């Protein structure tokens, strides 16, 4: 690897893709060094160790270590590991100087969404970085002072000797910092207008897109490229498309992260999900020799069918040769037999309702009170029809996703119905006072005000009643619903507490009580607020403990992973396809409709899709059926996909 450029001087451009001397096979399409980790936690530990090494090296030399730091969900694991190293291993940050990448404008430092507050809560208050060494752009200064503040920020970086190591995330539009598409390598710290996609991505943290500031202060691309070393981190399937563009396409103003290709000491750190669209991961046979096995051959045949537009059983030997699959042809002497094997493998995974579980004890874990019907409404319907002993466990109360107006509507209903319900004068007065207090709070609240406890409870009850109504479409009732109300979620804010022992205990207690033979778990870990990932972690730890308690508790437990509103399982990964008729899909949509607080305009629809949740579910299920049909498999109206596992990965 080339030596880093001197601080304050941008590295020169390269003539083409640049790889380290010992680059892994198949990376020739990648224009910047890229490391892939099995889990976000493994990635975070590696980044934290690199930071610790730099800090200790500089400390031994009597020098400062200058760090550039980001905010967002991705670096939190790094900060947590650095805090652990400080507390357990004595890692000393007294010689560290920090410069944060950006801040919203305008933004008071004490607000929930302030990056000053984020850094204080997630890192600085837990370590011993001297307060005078911490630099974060100020979002609460008068507009007339912004330009001078940005110049001073640049001068402070220069005075510190330049940034030694800069951590970055990447936005869905490909931005680094807040350098939106159109930002060039000449840009410096400045005020910038935020892109629509960026504001949509931030909407959940601001309780609605209308509350997201339209501007932000950010280090420029040129400022970033001046750093001696850069690590860009990305996790999750939703980042995979933009990550592949930043790594495999030429630098452009459309994807500002792509300018890291022109830096001599920049590296992308990815988890396997974020790396999913890289050629060496998605279609490795296009860039390297593949050690063919049944799984890779299946992927290649499905890909070839899609690429050529031919059903699997119509693929010819020439199709394989024309698409760089010579080695696969050589590996399988009879290519027709290979195509037939893949076809039969997929066909046997199609499981009709009467073949689905019956008479079993089943828990369906739903992270939010609507994920069950959005993600697996068809399966839920079949499980009920097949007379399984069924429990739907709603892990969080979903209260932060309810508008104040929804609660007001129900309170109005109660006010109008007090006489019919014979509630009495005292109860009627209490309802009226509650509604008036809520009306006042709603009128005066700022975008980051946390709901009072009473309002949080009322919003949770709105979600609970909707969940019961939704499973009622499948013939289930309140006795089949469990509202676990897990502690990690009950902050009243978008940011949740880490998963703790109490959360795992809630799940473990339910496993002990039900002793299920099958559980269904949300395996789509890219939801924008991270709740699915945290619920998955709690279930994984609880299942491990449950199975470790002895033969009785550890008897046969099959785990089924479903995916929800964000993506579907890839065809080659699915273990079961459940065909849905039009009537079955209509029932699923009807169940989703029962979640009225999430209908028409959901609080947190996610920035990646403008469609309502019922539309996403309908279209995704239709697309899964269309994909199977294009492969030459039976034609269905719609289908859901599931992965079966013994151990949660």
3-state secondary structure of 589: helix
Please name the residues in contact with 470: beta carbons below 8 A apart, sequence gap of 6 or more.
Answer: 370, 372, 373, 591, 592, 594, 595
Q: Which token pair is 118?
A: 């984020």
- DSSP symbol at 133: G
3-state secondary structure of 358: coil
Please name the residues in contact with 535: beta carbons below 8 A apart, sequence gap of 6 or more.
Answer: 365, 367, 395, 396, 486, 522
180 catalytically annotated: yes
CB 386 within 8 A of CB 357: yes
Provide the angle, in degrees to the nearest 10, between the axes of the packed helices 453-472 and 371-385. 40
Work out the angle at residue 168's Cα, subtended by the Cα atoms of residues 231 and 132, and round it to the nearest 5 degrees.
Answer: 105
Torsion angles phi and psi, residue 365, rounded to 5? -90, 120
CA distance 620 to 624: 6
Torsion angles phi and psi, residue 63, rounded to 5? -120, 165
Query: Which residue has tokens 């790889």?
Result: 19
Q: What is the rounded radius of gyration, in angstroms, for the C-alpha atoms of the chain?
A: 27
CB 394 within 8 A of CB 483: yes
- List the alpha helices (DSSP H) in 212-267: 221-225, 240-248
Full DSSP string of 169-213 = ---TTS-BTTB-TT--TT--SEEEEPPHHHHHHHGGGGTSGGGS-
Name the catalytic one among 30, 103, 180, 568.
Answer: 180
CA distance 333 to 36: 34
End-to-end Cα distance, the chain: 34
**Residues designated as active site:** 180
């Amino acid at each position: 690897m080339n030596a880093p450029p001197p601080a304050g001087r941008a590295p020169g451009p390269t003539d083409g893709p640049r790889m380290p001397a010992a680059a892994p096979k198949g990376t020739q399409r990648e224009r910047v060094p890229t490391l892939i980790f099995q889990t976000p936690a493994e990635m975070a530990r590696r980044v934290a160790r690199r930071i610790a090494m730099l800090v200790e090296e500089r400390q031994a030399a009597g020098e400062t270590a200058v760090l550039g730091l980001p905010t967002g969900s991705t670096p939190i694991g790094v900060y947590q590991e650095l805090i652990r190293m400080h507390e357990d291993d004595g890692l000393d940050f007294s010689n560290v100087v920090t410069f944060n990448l950006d801040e919203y404008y305008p933004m008071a430092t004490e607000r929930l969404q302030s990056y000053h507050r984020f850094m204080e809560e997630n890192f600085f208050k837990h370590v011993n970085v001297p307060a005078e060494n911490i630099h974060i752009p100020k979002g609460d200064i008068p507009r007339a002072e912004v330009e001078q503040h940005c110049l001073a920020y640049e001068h402070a970086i220069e005075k510190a000797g330049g940034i030694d190591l800069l951590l970055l995330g990447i936005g869905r539009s490909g931005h680094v910092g807040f350098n939106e598409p159109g930002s060039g390598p000449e840009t410096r710290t400045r005020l910038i207008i935020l892109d629509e996609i960026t504001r949509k991505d931030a909407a959940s943290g601001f309780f609605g897109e209308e509350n997201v500031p339209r501007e932000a202060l950010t280090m420029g691309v040129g400022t970033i490229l001046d750093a001696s070393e850069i690590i860009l981190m990305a996790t999750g399937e939703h980042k995979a498309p933009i990550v592949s563009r930043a790594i495999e396409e030429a630098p452009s103003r459309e994807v500002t992260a792509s300018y890291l290709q022109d830096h001599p000491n920049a590296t992308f750190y990815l988890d396997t999900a974020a790396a999913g669209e890289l050629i060496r991961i998605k279609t490795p046979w296009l860039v390297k020799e593949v050690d063919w096995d049944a799984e890779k051959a299946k992927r290649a045949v499905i890909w070839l069918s899609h690429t050529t537009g031919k059903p699997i059983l119509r693929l010819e030997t020439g199709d394989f040769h024309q698409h760089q699959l010579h080695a696969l042809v050589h590996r399988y002497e009879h290519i027709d037999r290979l195509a037939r094997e893949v076809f039969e493998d997929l066909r046997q995974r199609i499981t009709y309702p009467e073949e689905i579980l019956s008479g079993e004890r089943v828990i369906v874990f739903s992270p939010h009170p609507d994920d069950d019907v959005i993600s697996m409404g068809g399966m839920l319907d079949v499980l009920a029809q097949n007379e399984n002993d069924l429990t739907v466990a709603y892990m969080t109360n979903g209260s932060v996703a309810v508008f104040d107006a929804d609660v007001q509507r129900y309170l109005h209903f109660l006010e109008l119905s007090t006489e019919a319900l014979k509630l009495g004068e005292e109860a009627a007065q209490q309802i009226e006072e509650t509604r008036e207090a809520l009306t006042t709070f709603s009128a005066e609240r700022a975008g980051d005000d946390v709901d009072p406890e009473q309002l949080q409870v009322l919003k949770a009850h709105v979600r609970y009643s909707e969940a019961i109504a939704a499973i009622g479409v499948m013939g289930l009732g309140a006795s089949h619903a469990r509202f676990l109300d897990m502690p990690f979620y009950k902050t009243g804010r978008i940011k949740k507490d880490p998963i703790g022992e109490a959360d795992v205990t809630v799940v473990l207690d339910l496993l002990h009580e039900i002793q299920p033979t099958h559980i269904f778990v949300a395996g789509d870990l890219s939801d924008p607020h991270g709740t699915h990932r945290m619920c998955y972690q709690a279930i994984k730890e609880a299942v491990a403990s449950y199975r470790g308690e002895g033969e009785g508790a550890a008897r046969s437990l099959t785990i089924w992973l479903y995916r929800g509103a964000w993506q579907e399982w890839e065809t080659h990964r699915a273990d079961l396809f459940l065909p849905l008729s039009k009537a079955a899909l209509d029932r699923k949509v009807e169940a989703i409709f029962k979640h009225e607080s999430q209908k028409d305009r959901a609080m947190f629809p996610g920035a990646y899709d403008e469609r309502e949740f019922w539309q996403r579910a309908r279209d995704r299920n239709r697309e899964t059926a269309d994909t199977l049909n294009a492969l030459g498999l039976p034609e269905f109206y719609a289908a859901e996909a599931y992965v079966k596992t013994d151990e949660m990965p």
